[in-house]
Structures are given as structure tokens and as C-alpha cells.
Amino acid sequence: MTQPLALPEDDHDGLFADSEEMELSFGPQHPATHGVLRLKLKINGERIVESYPVIGYLHRGTEKLFELHPFFQNIPHTDRMDYVAAATNNQAYVGAVEKLLGLVVPPRARCIRIILAELQRISSHLLWLATHAIDIGAMTPFFYTFREREILLDLFEDYCGARLTLNCMRPGGLPYDLPVGWTGRCAALMADLPGKLDEYEELLTNNRIWKKRTVGIGVLPPEVAIDYGVTGPMLRGSGVRWDLRKALPYDGYDEVEFEVPIGRNGDTYDRYIVRMIEMRQSVRIINQCLEKLPEGPIMAKRPRVMKAGKDAEIYHGIEGPKGEIGFYIVGDGTPNPYRCHVRPPSFINLQSLPELCKGALIADLVALIGTTDIVLGEVDR
Amino acid sequence: MTSLIESVRTTVGDTLFYGAVSPLVKILVLLFLMILPLIAYLTLAERRILGFMQARLGPNRVGPWGLLQPIADVAKLLVKGDSIPLRAVKWAFVLAPCLVVGPAILVFAVIPLGPRAEAGGLSWFVTDINTGLLFVVATASIGVYGLILGGWSSNNKFSLMGGLRSAAQMISYEVPQGLALVGPVLLAGTLSMVGIVEAQKADRFWYVFPQIVGFFLYLVAGVAETNRNPFDLPEAESELVAGFHTEYSGMRFALFFLGEYANMIVISAVATTLFLGGWLRPFPNVEALAFLDPVPGVIWFALKVFVFLFLYIWFRGTFPRYRFDQLMDLGWKWMIPVALGNLALTALVKLLVA
Amino acid sequence: MDLWKSVRKVADKLLLPDLFAGLALTFKHMFREKVTVQYPEQRLEPSHRFRGMFRLDEDRCIKCTICARDCPIDIIYIDWHQEVNPETGKKDKVLDRFDIDLQRCMFCGLCEEGCPTEPKSIWLTTKTYELASYDRWKNLYVDMDELQQWQVRPAYTDEEIA
């Protein structure tokens, strides 16, 4: 016979004290945890009694890194926080720096920024849909969404030379102007995309299995969502109409027309629908911007060495694909920020996960991790 | 061919020929020329077809159109390290894959690929026992022990949950599956697999027409029995990593795989035999289609099985996965009552007609 | 029209239209064009702005070391000394060392952006992306000569891929 089975001796948390329940370490190496999230679960059969997210496996000290570099050198580091939505990270960071330094962005740069940010929102949501669907067991949407995302990333590559870690904005404007023919390709994709979205929806939206797996799962009441500080599609899925693009318009979002979708029940299905509508609204925004794209410079007049004033501090948040991504920057008169704190939407949305999966099944847990749409690079920074 | 069989028969004598030589040859041919290659190429077909459904190509590098891919896979799995976890229960860990594969392949003994022997020939099945269907159902349900043992003996919590899920799922779905199979049996009046096909010939229609409800029940229950999408809960990779075979590697893992695919073929073959007239050509009663008669029965049989296998792959490419309790709901609250109703109706009609 | 509604509800329960719609979609896709790129035989052409492997032009370089200072992770190492050019009699800066530690490079392109010469002395738009290597110090730490010598870093040969 093999060695006898024994309870582990390092039972610091007393999780094995009650023999009815079992502790399950869900991650950090697990196919459904979107990276390196670890969930300590207490389960009774398949039902989750308690869950405790353990984070920090991807901690790189980004906030400390910001303090060591001049403002413009930090932009590549922001790419690597939410690495599936680099453009919006850039936008939030350069927005904060611009506010700090009092730079005024030219209209053409603002318009291109909106296009890039909305493209990034679509690409981030496509990736979310792919992983969410594959977590719930539908394999095919993954490949369809990646097919479209590939074209989208080609647009980014044409614009700034990178596909994921874009480094595509600078304090005061943009590093490059749009290449020749870019707007045409972008418009062609935007004409194509709603049909493709219909295809994904045909596979999922009305599918009874998909509905069974998502309707009524992980209900997040609006009050609770607000208490947790949840933002983005998670909050809007709960029926709170809060979108920074509408509430505190930045970079000229007040000049474009779009709707902010909200959910009714605050369950996983509503959040799915909200994100699907958001993609269509993003297409609408991009089409408007492509139409009215103004001519002119793409970079504001800015000093060669950008220095923040002494004791200057600023918080600037924007509506990223996952929620409010904000930067709090303190200057001390040098070219480097004295302190730079990030408000990462993934980290704060993740706080609601234990609340969501109380009493859910293991199978629901993967749907719930998918619906919170976290990127661990941003959670851990 | 016929003369060769005849000469062998006269040399060894009738008893020895029909008792040992002929079954042995058939088993070897069935196993090594039909089932194992079919399973190997089913994996390739699945990957290719799924690829086509998902706007990509699938494996096409090894050999022309990727046709040597299964051989490369097998070679890889054979030479891979075969690890047994330190705290695993070794005998059960080793036994489990065998318990999955063995019964699945055993079932093929009673599945008729073609008609009985004509004069001087061999029949297209290894054996025809008068309780053939019972044998199929009984043997197929041994497979669940393999999954439970594999899940339990791995000493891994994910494996254990996978094993428990498979136990509950397979036992639940055996009930509607069995009830769905009783319909054709009632119509045919025999449990012999060959007898059921012959009864369909005598009745001049496939049993899928009177038993359409039973057919769909069997189809769904069969997908659940083989742990395939949308009922692939025991190995749900996004939930349980790989479920009951998380800790398996190398050839032991390949055996689980083999068992799963063999089970798919078994379910398809049984469905073909009971509902789609086995080796019979389409519409066996329509004289206008008589020109189809020269096509050997085994070809028709294979075609029908392939349709089922394609369905399996198609489902996998389309549907999300059910949740555990929803799966149980579907099984107990929908399928079993419907199957019972179908059975009662069939019996009533049979009684009135007879 | 309650009756009609309930009929439709029952039909929905029995006929599974949603499931068949999905099945039809995946079936249609079997015959659509595939998007796979057969990599070693087919290669995608990167865009003109694609940030890939570096090139350096020593003649254009004015040894200002702005690229090294602009690098967010400090992986560009530059040493230079002054030398009297025998032809012109002027003092010239001569590069002793211009190394890039590609292992840590994140291809942000800030070095190129900071370069004050026109055209740039260091640039990444070489459309070279096949940088994988078996030896981290041989191919992923490039010095001045390597940065200048190659015209286009050769694409992988079939033997290297196999």
C-alpha cells in the first residue's frame, strides 16, 4: 500500500477543522483564473461556502517604478498593467499628466484618442467574450472573436507599431499621426463588426444553455455594487447608469453621441448583454469620430523637460473597458512624479467576487470570474 | 475469399472453426483494423472538423492533410513519462484506465456490422447472443467505475470532484438511456442486436420513425453517457482542470481518451442498430431504391455511424456546458418522465395492434 | 393571444430553435474561408511602423546618449571617446560601445523617439520580428557591430524551425 492519507499539518487557518467542508485552492495555475489569481475556497460538495482571493503573484512594483522615471518614460509601464487595454491605460495616465502640467490637447489628437480608446474597448470586450464563453464551455466564440480582434490589432500595429503594449499616447497629444489609408480600413472594420457581433450573439444570447448558466447567477444589487466601488460594465449591469464618458467627459466625449446601456437584474447575463451593447456603441462612436476627424496638429506645445509644480497633485480617471481606470499623481518639482497611485478597475471589481460567489457552485465560479473581467496584470501591478 | 475460408474450415474442422478460429480472426480484425484506427482517426477528424467550424485549419502538418497526426500523437503519448502521484492509491490508479477502455471495446462483440452468414461465408459480427442489448447496456455501465476509481485514486481534489460528477451523471443518464432503448425492443420483440435489425427489415421501416422521441432521448442521453459537450462536466477543463484524469499522463491518459472515443463509437453503433436499421439501406421497403442493394451492409452501417460521430463533434463546436444541477434536472425531471411516457405509449400501441 | 403565446412557448421548449440556430451557424462556418496563416511558409508582412529589431547607423549618431537616457529600463549601454580626425583635423566623438540588452527590451520605441538626428540614428522599424534564440547571450545581447552589420535580419530557415 501507499502512504496513508493524512491531513496536512500546516493547517494554519483551521480550514480543515470542520470535516464537512473542504478547502480547495483554485489557482494560481488553473485554466479559468485568467492568469495567476488564486482563490482559496471552502466548499461543501460543489457549493462554495466561502472564498478568499489571494493576489500578488504578478506584482511588479509598477507604482514604485513610476517614481523613478520622468513622466513620458512611464507610458510603456502603464501598457503592462491591463495588457489587453493598453490604449485606455495610456489615455488615463497622459490625461493625468496633462492636467498636472496644464497642457491642452489639440482637437485632432483628442479625436484620434477617442478612436483608439474605443477600438481598445472593443478589443478588450472581444477578449472578455472569448474567455467568458470558453469558461462556460462554448469553445467556438473564442475563435470567432479572435479572428476579429486580429484585424483590430492590425489597426493598432499600423498606427503605432505594436499590437498589445501600444505606448501610443504622449502627454500633450500623440506620437504619430494616422497613416495613409488607416481611416478607410478602420471604417471597413466598423462596417463589418456589427454583423460579426450578431454571429456571436446567435451562438450565445438566446442559447438556452448559455441562459441557464448566466441568468440569475452572481446577482450584484446596485447598492452592494456601489458599496464595493465597482465600476464599468459590472456596475452598469446592476442598473446604475454611471459612465465617466458621460458623467465627467474627457478628451471630447461630450461631442459624440452614444447610449450607456444598463442591466436590470445585475446578473451575469445582464453584464454580458451590457458589454455586447457597449461594443456596438463603441462602433457608433468610432464612426462619428472618423466622420468628423479634424485636421491640425497632433501635439500640444510642451516644454522639452516636463516638470510638475511643487506639491501639485491630481487625480484623473477615465472609463476603461473594465471600469474606472484612474491615476493619482503627486509632483515635487522634478521631472519624475513624487508618487503615482493607480486606481485599477480589475482590483476593485475583484473585491466583489467573494460576495458574488457566496453559495454558488464551482461551475458558477468560473462564470463569475469571467464576468468580473479581471486582468491580473492590473490587479497586482 | 470464400474458397480460402472454405479450405480453412475443412482443414480445422467445423467445431474448431466456428468455436475458435473464426471469432478470433474476427476479433483481431475488428480490433486492429477497425476500432483502433477508427478511434485514432476520429481524434483527427474531430480536430479538423472543429477547426473548420472555428475558421481555422486544424492539424495539417504531419503527412498529407495531417493524416499521420494520430500516429504522431500515439508515438508521443507512448514515450511520454508516465507519472503516478506519490499519495495515489496505486492499484486503483493503474486499474482505472483499463476499466474504461475494456468494456467499451468489449461491446463491439455483439454489434452487427452486417447481415448473418450466407452459405459458405462468415457473418458480419463476432457473436449474436439472445440478450445482446442487455449485454451492451450492462458492459457499458462498467465504464463508470473506471472514472470514479481514477478520480478517487489520484488523490487530487479536482479529480475527486470529476469522479463524483461522472458517477452521478452516468448513473442518472443510464436510466433514460435504458428506457429509450426499450422502445425498439418492444417493437422488435427480441433483445438480440441482429434480431432487432432483422425485425426492422421484416417490419419494413426503421424504428426511428415510430420511436422518434426515444431516438432523441437516446441521442441526448448518449452524449451525456460519453461525457461529451455539452455534458462534459466530469472533465470540464475550465472548472476542474481536467476532471478525473487530471493526474494522468502518457499512455494511461491515452487509455482514458481511447475509452471516451470508443464509447462514442459504441453509442453511435447502438443507435444505428436500434433506430436506423443497422446495415439496412435507407427505406428498405421502397423498391425504387433497389439499385442501392449491391452496396455492402457494412458501408451503410459505417455511414450511419459517421453521421452520429459528426453530430458529437458538431455539438462540441457549438454548445456551452451545462451546470451540474441543471444536468440532473434535465435528466430526472424531463428525460425520465418523457422516456416513461414514450415507453407506455409504445407498449399500448403494440398491444392494440397485436 | 394567450393561446398563441403558450403555443409558441411549448414550441420553443420542444423544437429548440435557439440550439439549431447555433448549429446552423457553426455548420455554415465549415465552408467559409479559413483565417489560419501557415507560418513558416506564409509570413505576414509587419506594418511600416512595426517596432521590431533595432538598427544603428554610427555615422549619423552624434553620441548624445539621449536614447540611453530615454530608455525606461536602461538597457542601452554607450561609451565613447574623443579623437582627432586626421583628415579634417577636428575633434570627433567615436563610439567605443553601443550595446542593447534585448532580453529586457520591451520595444517601446522611446529611444528612437528621443533620437535628435534626422533621419534617426537608431530605429526599430526593420520589420524583423523573428528574434527567438537558443542562446540568450549570443543573439539577445547585441553590440554595435551587430546593430549595423545586418541588412535585414534573415528570416528563420526551415532547419531552424524544425
- Which of C49, C64, C112, C126 to probe by mutation at the A interface, max A CB count within 10 Å? C49
Cite the beta strand spans of C7-90 per DSSP E.
55-56, 76-84
Instruction: Give the pLDDT confidence score for residue C115 in this predicted structure.
Output: 86
| Claim to verify: residue B23 and residue B96 sit in the same structural domain | no
**C43-77 pLDDT, tens per residue?**
888 888 888 888 888 888 888 888 888 888 888 88
| Claim to verify: residue C20 and residue C61 sit in the same structural domain | no
Last residue of a domain, one of B44, B64, B79: B79
Residues of chain A in contact with residue B161, where contact means CB-CB under 8 angstroms, are: 46, 362
| Claim to verify: residue B103 and residue B165 sit in the same structural domain | yes
Counting one residue from A and one from B, how many pairs have CB atoms under 8 Å apart? 88
**B167-203 pLDDT, tens per residue?**
888 888 888 888 888 888 888 888 888 888 888 877 7
**B279-326 pLDDT, tens per residue?**
777 776 666 666 766 777 778 888 888 888 898 888 888 888 888 888
Q: How far is A202 from chain C (nearest CA, A)?
A: 6
Say if residue A240's pLDDT is above 70. yes
Domain A62-380 falls under CATH 1.10.645.10: yes
- Which of B54, B217, B220 to probe by mutation at the C interface, max C CB count within 10 Å? B54
- Could you tell me the pLDDT band of residue B80, with boundaries at 50, 70 and 90? confident
C48 in a structural domain: no
By Cβ distance, the residue of C19, C26, C36 closest to B56 is C36
Distance of alpha carbon A253 from alpha carbon A13, whole angstroms: 49
Which CATH number characterizes residue C154's domain? 3.30.70.3270
Residues of chain B in contact with residue C27, where contact means CB-CB under 8 angstroms, are: 53, 314
**B126-161 pLDDT, tens per residue?**
777 888 888 888 888 888 888 888 888 888 888 888
DSSP secondary structure of A139-175: -HHHHHHHHHHHHHHHHHHHHHS-SSS----BTTB-S
Q: Which one is predicted more confidently, A359 or B343?
A: B343
Please answer whether residues A107 and A252 qualify as being in contact, where contact means their C-beta atoms are separated by less than 8 angstroms.
yes
Q: Quick count: other Cβ atoms within 10 Å of Cβ B61?
A: 12
| Claim to verify: residue C69 and residue C145 sit in the same structural domain | yes
Tell me if C16 and A208 make a contact (CB, 8 A cut-off). yes
ipTM of the complex: 0.80
Average pLDDT over residues B103-119: 79
Question: How many C-alpha atoms does A50 have within 13 Å on its Cβ side?
Answer: 9
| Claim to verify: residue B347 and residue B250 sit in the same structural domain | yes
Tell me if C106 and A80 make a contact (CB, 8 A cut-off). yes
Amino acid making up residue C58? E
| Claim to verify: residue B70 and residue B106 sit in the same structural domain | no
Enumerate residues 6+ apart whose C-beta is below 8 A from B76.
none
Average pLDDT over residues A335-343: 88
Which of these, B213, B149, B157, B228, lies nearest to B181 by C-alpha position? Answer: B213
Q: How many domains does chain C have?
A: 2
| Claim to verify: residue C63 and residue C23 sit in the same structural domain | no
| Claim to verify: residue C78 and residue C114 sit in the same structural domain | yes
Distance of alpha carbon C100 from alpha carbon C112, whole angstroms: 13
| Claim to verify: residue C26 and residue C59 sit in the same structural domain | no
Which of these, C63, C90, C89, C94, lies nearest to C76 by C-alpha position? Answer: C63
Tell me if A73 and C19 make a contact (CB, 8 A cut-off). no
Instruction: Give the domain extent around B193.
Output: 82-353
Distance of alpha carbon B231 from alpha carbon B175, whole angstroms: 16
Last residue of a domain, one of B53, B79, B105: B79
| Claim to verify: residue B115 and residue B23 sit in the same structural domain | no
Please answer whether residues B281 and B300 qualify as being in contact, where contact means their C-beta atoms are separated by less than 8 angstroms.
yes
**C9-32 pLDDT, tens per residue?**
887 777 777 888 888 888 888 888
User: A290 and chain B: CB distance < 8 Å anywhere?
Assistant: no
Which of these, A24, A50, A136, lies nearest to A357 by C-alpha position? Answer: A50
C21 in a structural domain: yes
C47 in a structural domain: no
Average pLDDT over residues A212-228: 88
Distance of alpha carbon A302 from alpha carbon C113, whole angstroms: 15
- A339 phi, psi to nearest 5 deg: -150, 140
| Claim to verify: residue B160 and residue B254 sit in the same structural domain | yes
Which of these, B273, B259, B278, B300, lies nearest to B218 by C-alpha position? Answer: B273
| Claim to verify: residue B65 and residue B147 sit in the same structural domain | no
Q: pTM value?
A: 0.85
By Cβ distance, the residue of B53, B315, B319 closest to C29 is B53
| Claim to verify: residue C107 and residue C69 sit in the same structural domain | yes
Average pLDDT over residues A202-224: 87
Q: How many domains does chain B have?
A: 2
Q: Where in chain A is the domain with CATH 1.10.645.10?
A: 62-380
Amino acid making up residue C107? F
Amino acid making up residue A380? D
Instruction: Give the pLDDT confidence score for residue A7 in this predicted structure.
Output: 45
**B93-105 pLDDT, tens per residue?**
888 888 888 888 8
- Could you tell me the pLDDT band of residue A6, with boundaries at 50, 70 and 90? very low
Which of these, A57, A56, A93, lies nearest to A343 by C-alpha position? Answer: A93
Question: Percentage of chain B surpassing pLDDT 90?
Answer: 0
**C77-131 pLDDT, tens per residue?**
888 888 887 777 778 888 788 888 888 888 888 888 888 888 888 888 777 777 7
| Claim to verify: residue B65 and residue B143 sit in the same structural domain | no
Compute the mean pLDDT over every residue in chain B, rounded to the nearest whole number.
83
Say if residue A18's pLDDT is above 60. no
- C115 phi, psi to nearest 5 deg: -60, 125
Compute the mean pLDDT over every residue in chain A, rounded to the nearest whole number.
85
Nearest CA in chain C to A161: C50
Which of these, A283, A313, A336, lies nearest to A118 by C-alpha position? Answer: A283
Q: How far is A101 from chain B (nearest CA, A)?
A: 47
| Claim to verify: residue B61 and residue B172 sit in the same structural domain | no
**A97-156 pLDDT, tens per residue?**
888 888 888 988 989 999 999 999 999 999 999 999 888 888 888 899 998 899 999 999
Instruction: Give the pLDDT confidence score for residue C156 in this predicted structure.
Output: 56
Please answer whether residues A166 and A94 qualify as being in contact, where contact means their C-beta atoms are separated by less than 8 angstroms.
no
Instruction: Give the domain extent around C77.
Output: 55-161
Distance of alpha carbon C99 from alpha carbon C62, whole angstroms: 16
| Claim to verify: residue B191 and residue B300 sit in the same structural domain | yes
| Claim to verify: residue B153 and residue B238 sit in the same structural domain | yes
Residues of chain C in contact with residue B57, where contact means CB-CB under 8 angstroms, are: 34, 36, 38
Please answer whether residues A104 and A300 qualify as being in contact, where contact means their C-beta atoms are separated by less than 8 angstroms.
yes
Residues of chain B in contact with residue A2, where contact means CB-CB under 8 angstroms, are: 86-90
Take residue B312 and report the three cell numbers written for it: 458529437
| Claim to verify: residue C75 and residue C151 sit in the same structural domain | yes
| Claim to verify: residue B75 and residue B86 sit in the same structural domain | no
Average pLDDT over residues A22-32: 80
Tell me if B53 and C22 make a contact (CB, 8 A cut-off). no
CB contact residues (below 8 A), chain C span 4-43, against chain B: 19, 22-23, 25-27, 29-36, 38
Residue where the block lists cell 495531417 = B66
Tell me if C19 and A199 make a contact (CB, 8 A cut-off). no
Residues of chain B in contact with residue A209, where contact means CB-CB under 8 angstroms, are: 230, 319-322
